[in-house]
Amino acid sequence: MCRNFYFPNIQSFSHGFGIAALAWADVLAAFAMYVMMNYLTNVWNLDTTHAAGIINIWNGITPALAIVFVVLVDTFMGDRYMLAFSSIAYSIGLGLLSMSTPPVLGPCHDYNEQCIGHTQKVLFYIALPLISVGMAGHVVSLPPFVDLQTKSENENENGRGAETEEGTKMLIQIPGLIILMVVMIAGGVGLSYIKPWSLRFGIPAIFSVVTTLLFFTGFLGYKPSKPEGSPLTTTLRVFVAAARKISQPIPDNPEKLYKKEDARSTNSLRFFFLFSVSFAL
């Protein structure tokens, strides 16, 4: 009788806990970037336009990297290795951001423009792209990876697979949501009362290292996702093929088109119609 019920095991709990921990680092990293404007204007003494430009460039890099990572995940890496790569980048980036504050490696320990030397600027500008890599990797791979881990391998076996899947999903979601709420309160309220910038950036860095280590504790036990090819690759091929044949006239002969049953051309998006031209350049 007992075999008809699903009993969560310690390994499933630790795996779910390690995956859910990755979302916590996103919350604290988002807080660190949220206060970045104040840090640049108050400590670096940058004007608002200059500081906003730095933040806007960073905000533009993150979604651009996400598009690239989608192709890499679907073509080469898979979600598990992307999460490992991006989590390591996260930890290093937040660590360098904390080290870029004056008390750590600065010429003096005051939070003002005179204590921001060349070393601090180098660490800062290296940290921002690494944080973008971490955020983009988590945005791309964390949701599908969670879905993959909650899918049962025995979902067609007397209905037990659905019960197992629901139990595994609860193991991942419930502790993750509870601690995520705690982290959000701590990040949004608690860290705002911490005055030293080295701690404001250092606490998210330490938290990111801890969550990354939690993720790696169950790395070999996670279900790997196999790359199955990216639809973006097909879209890119359409653009490349149309660009190569842009100088070619659209033929009236249906035999020169791949799709012979409907060879009528239209004025709408005629550029992409060139993709169907079959004759060589």
Report the CATH number that the domain containing residue 145 is assigned in CATH: 1.20.1250.20
Residue 169 has pLDDT above 90, yes or no: no
- Whether residues 215 and 235 share a domain: the answer is no
- Whether residues 157 and 185 share a domain: the answer is yes
- Whether residues 185 and 243 share a domain: the answer is no
- Whether residues 150 and 168 share a domain: the answer is yes
Q: Which of 29, 86, 24, 16 is nearest to 211 (CA)?
A: 24
Which DSSP letter does residue 11 get?
A: H
Least confident segment among 72-81, 160-169, 213-222:
160-169
Residue 173 has pLDDT above 70, yes or no: no
Give the residue, 91 or 19, on which the prediction is more confident: 91
pLDDT of 16:
59
Please count the structural domains in the chain: 2
pLDDT of 51:
93
- CA–CA gap between residue 48 and residue 38 (Å, rounded): 9
Q: Name residue, tokens 């982290």.
A: 183
- Whether residues 213 and 241 share a domain: the answer is no
Identity of residue 190: G
- CA–CA gap between residue 166 and residue 1 (Å, rounded): 20
- Does residue 226 sit within a domain? no
**Confidence band for 159, pLDDT divided at 50, 70 and 90:** very low
- CA–CA gap between residue 89 and residue 135 (Å, rounded): 9
Give the residue, 138 or 180, on which the prediction is more confident: 138
Alpha helix stretches (DSSP H) within the chain: 10-34, 36-42, 48-72, 79-99, 102-105, 118-149, 160-185, 197-217, 231-244, 270-273
Mean pLDDT of 39-60: 92
- Whether residues 217 and 242 share a domain: the answer is no
Domain of residue 241, residue span = 231-276
- CA–CA gap between residue 127 and residue 90 (Å, rounded): 9
- Whether residues 151 and 269 share a domain: the answer is no
- Whether residues 217 and 237 share a domain: the answer is no
- Does residue 1 sit within a domain? no
Q: Which of 11, 4, 17, 5 is nearest to 180 (CA)?
A: 17
- Does residue 2 sit within a domain? no
Domain boundary among 198, 221, 244: 221
Residue-wise pLDDT for 5-48, tens only, equals 333 343 444 555 667 778 777 888 888 888 899 999 999 999 99
- Whether residues 215 and 238 share a domain: the answer is no
Domain boundary among 221, 244, 261: 221
**Confidence band for 250, pLDDT divided at 50, 70 and 90:** low
Whole-structure pTM value: 0.72
- Does residue 258 sit within a domain? yes
- Does residue 83 sit within a domain? yes
